[in-house]
């Protein structure tokens, strides 16, 4: 007799398995949302270019999030794609992902700007005034 997978349809763990894979999918989407904001510039801060300055990016993110909600909560798409509805606490767990990713990249850009500023200052140190 063949053994059945513990997460197969009809088993007690099946719904938890579907929620876990759905959380993975949502985590990827949330992470990519943060990356989309972070990748807009190599050196400047998001504050200096404006978070709302690219309307096409905002529309793209709105579409991505709408499609994600449909994939997670519409029964025909749940059946087709193997997703399951998530609870509010699960959604709250993923909510900080874009901010964490954007923040990490913002910190990286700040460090790059700081290093560039220091190297420029070091290169100019000792030069006579007006020769910079």
pLDDT tens digit string along 78-100?
A: 999 999 999 999 999 999 999 99
- Of residues 47 and 76, more confidence is placed in 76
Average pLDDT over the chain reads: 85
Q: Could you tell me if 64 and 2 are in contact, meaning their C-beta atoms sit under 8 angstroms apart? A: no
Q: Among 30-34, 45-49, 122-126, name the one with the lowest average pLDDT.
A: 122-126
Range of the domain at 34: 14-116
Q: Is 0.85 surpassed by the pTM of this model?
A: no
User: Residue 132 falls within a domain, yes or no?
Assistant: no
User: Residue 127 falls within a domain, yes or no?
Assistant: no
Q: Could you tell me if 94 and 26 are in contact, meaning their C-beta atoms sit under 8 angstroms apart? A: yes
Q: In the structure encoding, which two tokens stand for residue 87, read together?
A: 């609870």
Give pLDDT tens digits for 39-66: 777 766 667 777 777 899 999 999 999 9
User: Residue 4 falls within a domain, yes or no?
Assistant: no
Distance CA 103, CA 50 (A): 15
52 CB-near residues (< 8 Å, 6+ apart): 58
Is residue 132's pLDDT more than 60?
A: no
Of the pLDDT bands very low, low, confident and very high (cuts 50, 70, 90), residue 21 is very high
User: Residue 129 falls within a domain, yes or no?
Assistant: no
- pLDDT of 1 reads 44
**Per-residue pLDDT averaged across 3-14, rounded?**
84
Distance CA 126, CA 132 (A): 10
> How large is the angle between the packed helices 14-38 and 55-73, nearest 10 degrees?
180
User: Residue 46 falls within a domain, yes or no?
Assistant: yes
- pLDDT of 68 reads 97
User: Residue 42 falls within a domain, yes or no?
Assistant: yes
Number of domains in the chain: 1
User: Residue 9 falls within a domain, yes or no?
Assistant: no
Cα 108 to Cα 42, 55, 112, 122, distances in angstroms: 10, 25, 6, 21
- pLDDT of 5 reads 87
């Amino acid at each position: 007799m063949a053994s059945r997978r513990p997460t197969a349809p009809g088993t007690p763990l099946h719904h938890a398995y579907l929620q876990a894979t759905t959380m993975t999918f949502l985590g990827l989407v949330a992470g990519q949302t943060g990356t989309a904001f972070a990748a807009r510039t190599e050196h400047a801060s998001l504050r200096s270019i404006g978070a709302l300055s690219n309307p096409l990016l905002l529309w793209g993110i709105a579409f991505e999030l709408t499609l994600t909600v449909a994939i997670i909560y519409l029964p025909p798409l749940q059946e087709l794609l193997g997703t399951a509805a998530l609870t509010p606490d699960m959604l709250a767990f993923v909510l900080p992902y874009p901010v964490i990713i954007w923040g990490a990249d913002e910190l990286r850009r700040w460090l790059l700007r700081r290093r560039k500023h220091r190297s420029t200052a070091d290169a100019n140190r000792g030069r006579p005034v007006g020769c910079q």
